[in-house]
C-alpha cells in the first residue's frame, strides 16, 4: 500500500531540507511540508544573530552536492554566518533547486499524523497502512514514512523554575520577550535605557546578554540582570579558550568578563515562582524564594525568557511513540545527551537505531529529536537525516555507519582520559561513543548494568577490560 507513496518531511529548515536532499539523491519520492511562507522560517526570527559555528558545520553534504550541480556559489567554509545569511545563501537556493522545489509546499502546517483507517490501538497490519498527515486547511496527505524536522522554536519553555508557567506569567506577557531579541533593530527602543532581566543559562542567554551589554555602552541607563537557577555560573561560562569553536568559547568568556566588571548583575540561585505587574504598568517583578523562605523580588522593565525549548509531540498523538520521561526524546538517545549526566555537552554519534520509535516509519530528527536537551548542533541533524533516509531506502549498512566529527566544547573533563584508554587498547576514536550507544541498547535486556556493558563489548568486538574502564569513566563524568 505504501510502495509508491512519498516520504513526508515536516519542516523546511536546515535539517528538513537536508533530509529532502538525501531523499532526492536516493531518488525516493518525497514531499516537504512547511508551515511558513518560505524555507528557514524559524531561523529568520533570529536572522540578526551570528552563529558560533562556521559554514563548514552548517551545510549538509548531500545538499552541497545538489547545490553544486546548480552552479551554487559556496560561502567561505571558515566564515560565521548570521541566521539571515544561512537562509539567503544556503536554504533558499536549496529550496529553489530543481530537485526539491517541485516537492515543497509552503503554508502547510501539520496538525495531526495517524495511519490510514488505523488508530493507535490497532496492531494488525499496522506497518502496512500508509501514514495520514492532516494539514491546518483540512487537506490530508498519505505517505510511506514521516520525517518530522519541525523543530522546537515555536514551543519555548516557560519562566517557572518548576516547568509550569510562573504564577502571573500569562498576565505579564506584555513584558516578556523570548530568546535572541533584535536589540539593535526592531527591539532597540524597548531595551534602550531600560532594566532587563535575562533568565536562562544557555547560549541564547549569553548571546542576548552580550548584545544588551553593547547596547548599554551606547544607551545610558540600560541595566542588565542575569537570573540563573544554579548557585554559580561556572557551567554557563563554557570552555572558553579550550573550546574548538572560538566563537562559542568567547560567548562564555565575554559573559564572565561582563559579570566580573559589574556590567551584568548576577542573580544566582534565582528560581522564578511568580511574576507581579507593577502599578500603572510601570514594569514587572520576578519573584523567587530564598533558602530562608523570604521573598526575593527583582523589578524590571523587560524580561527575556532564554529558558530553552521543548518538543510538541501532540501532532503524533495517534502514533506509538516511546518517549524518555525526562527529555521527551527516544529512550535510546536520551542517555547519550541527557545534560544531567553529560556536563561536557559532547554530542555522541547516533542515527536511525537511536531515533526509532515503536511506530515503524516515523522519525523525529533535528532539534525536535533532542527533546529538552540543549546540546544540538546542525551537523548532528544532518547525520541524523543521512542515516534515517539511508534506512528508508533499505541501505541499512550505510544507515548504521554513523559518523559525527564535532568540535570539542572544551568543558569535558574526561575527554583526554577517554582518548588515553582508547589508545592503550588500540581502539578507534569513535569506539567509546559506540560502546555507550550499544550499552544503552542492551540495558533493557539486562538487570545488571555490567552485563549490558559485556554484551555491548561482545557486539563491538572489543576487550571487556577496555569496555569496563570506559563505562566506569562515563559513570564518573555523570556524577
In a domain, 95, yes or no: yes
Q: Which of 287, 305, 323 delimits the end of a domain? A: 305
- When pLDDT is averaged across residues 237-244 and rounded to a whole number, the result is 66
What pLDDT, in 10s, does the model give residues 328-342? 999 999 988 888 766
Lowest pLDDT segment from 212-221, 244-253, 450-459, 468-477 = 468-477
User: Residue 373: pLDDT above 50?
Assistant: yes
In a domain, 207, yes or no: yes
What pLDDT does 241 receive?
63
Q: Are residues 21 and 146 in the same domain?
A: yes
Q: Are residues 221 and 301 in the same domain?
A: yes
- Taking the C-alpha atoms of residue 203 and residue 374, their distance in angstroms, rounded to an integer, is 9
Q: Which of 343, 368, 400 delimits the end of a domain? A: 400
In a domain, 247, yes or no: yes
Q: Are residues 24 and 146 in the same domain?
A: yes
User: Residue 409: pLDDT above 80?
Assistant: no
Q: Are residues 177 and 260 in the same domain?
A: yes
Taking Cα atoms as reference points, which of 83, 64, 66 lies closest to residue 74?
A: 64
Which three cell numbers mark 45? Answer: 526570527
In a domain, 132, yes or no: yes
- When pLDDT is averaged across residues 222-249 and rounded to a whole number, the result is 79
Summary mean pLDDT of the chain: 89
* pTM across the whole model: 0.83
What pLDDT, in 10s, does the model give residues 71-127? 999 999 999 999 999 999 999 999 999 999 999 999 999 999 999 999 999 999 999
In a domain, 55, yes or no: yes
- When pLDDT is averaged across residues 301-320 and rounded to a whole number, the result is 96
Per the structure, the complete domain to which residue 235 belongs is given by 170-305
**Count of structural domains within the chain:** 3
CATH value at residue 107: 3.50.50.60
In a domain, 410, yes or no: no
- When pLDDT is averaged across residues 23-51 and rounded to a whole number, the result is 96
Amino acid at each position: 500500500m505504501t510502495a509508491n507513496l512519498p516520504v513526508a518531511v515536516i519542516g523546511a529548515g536546515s535539517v528538513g531540507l537536508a533530509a529532502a536532499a538525501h531523499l532526492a539523491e536516493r531518488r525516493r519520492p518525497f514531499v516537504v511540508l512547511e508551515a511558513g511562507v518560505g524555507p528557514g522560517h524559524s531561523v529568520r526570527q533570529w536572522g540578526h544573530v551570528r552563529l558560533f559555528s562556521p559554514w563548514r558545520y552548517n551545510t549538509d553534504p548531500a545538499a552541497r552536492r545538489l547545490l553544486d550541480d546548480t552552479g551554487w556559489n559556496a560561502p567561505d567554509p571558515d566564515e560565521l554566518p548570521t541566521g539571515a545569511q544561512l537562509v539567503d545563501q544556503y536554504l533558499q537556493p536549496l529550496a529553489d533547486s530543481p530537485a526539491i522545489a517541485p516537492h515543497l509546499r509552503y503554508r502547510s502546517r501539520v496538525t495531526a499524523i495517524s495511519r490510514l483507517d488505523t488508530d493507535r490501538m490497532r496492531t494488525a497490519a499496522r506497518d502496512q497502512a500508509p501514514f495520514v498527515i492532516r494539514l491546518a486547511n483540512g487537506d490530508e496527505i498519505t505517505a510511506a514514512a514521516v520525517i518530522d524536522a519541525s523543530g522546537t522554536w515555536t514551543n519555548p519553555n516557560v519562566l517557572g523554575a518548576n516547568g509550569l508557567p510562573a504564577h502571573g506569567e500569562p498576565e505579564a506577557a506584555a513584558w516578556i520577550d523570548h530568546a535572541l531579541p533584535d536589540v539593535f533593530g526592531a527591539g532597540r527602543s524597548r531595551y534602550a535605557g531600560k532594566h532587563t532581566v535575562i533568565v536562562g543559562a544557555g547560549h541564547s542567554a549569553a548571546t542576548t546578554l552580550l548584545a544588551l551589554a553593547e547596547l548599554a555602552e551606547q544607551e545610558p541607563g540600560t541595566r542588565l540582570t542575569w537570573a540563573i537557577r544554579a548557585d554559580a555560573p561556572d557551567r554557563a561560562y563554557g570552555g572558553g579558550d579550550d573550546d574548538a569553536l572560538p566563537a562559542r568559547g568567547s560567548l562564555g568568556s565575554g559573559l564572565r568578563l561582563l559579570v566580573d566588571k559589574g556590567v551584568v548583575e548576577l542573580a544566582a540561585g534565582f528560581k522564578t515562582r511568580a511574576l507581579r505587574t507593577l502599578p500603572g504598568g510601570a514594569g514587572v517583578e520576578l519573584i523567587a524564594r530564598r533558602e530562608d523562605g523570604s521573598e526575593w523580588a527583582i523589578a524590571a522593565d523587560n524580561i527575556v525568557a532564554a529558558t530553552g525549548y521543548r518538543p510538541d509531540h501532540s501532532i503524533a498523538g495517534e502514533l506509538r511513540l516511546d518517549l524518555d520521561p525526562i527529555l521527551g526524546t527516544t529512550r535510546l538517545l536520551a542517555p547519550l545527551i541527557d545534560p544531567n549526566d553529560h556536563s561536557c555537552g559532547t554530542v555522541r554519534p547516533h542515527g536511525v537505531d537511536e531515533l526509532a520509535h515503536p511506530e515503524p516509519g516515523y522519525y523525529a530528527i533535528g532539534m525536535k529529536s533532542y527533546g529538552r536537551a540543549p546540546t544540538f548542533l546542525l551537523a548532528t541533524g544532518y547525520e541524523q537525516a543521512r542515516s534515517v533516509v539511508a534506512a528508508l531506502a533499505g541501505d541499512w549498512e550505510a544507515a548504521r555507519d554513523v559518523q559525527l566529527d564535532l568540535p570539542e566544547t572544551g568543558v569535558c573533563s574526561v575527554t583526554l582520559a577517554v582518548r588515553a584508554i582508547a589508545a592503550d587498547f588500540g581502539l578507534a576514536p569513535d569506539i567509546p561513543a559506540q560502546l555507550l550507544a550499544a550499552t544503552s541498547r542492551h540495558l533493557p535486556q539486562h538487570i545488571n548494568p555490567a552485563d549490558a556493558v559485556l554484551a555491548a563489548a561482545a557486539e563491538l568486538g572489543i576487550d571487556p577490560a577496555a569496555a569496563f574502564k570506559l563505562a566506569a569513566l562515563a559513570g564518573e563524568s555523570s556524577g
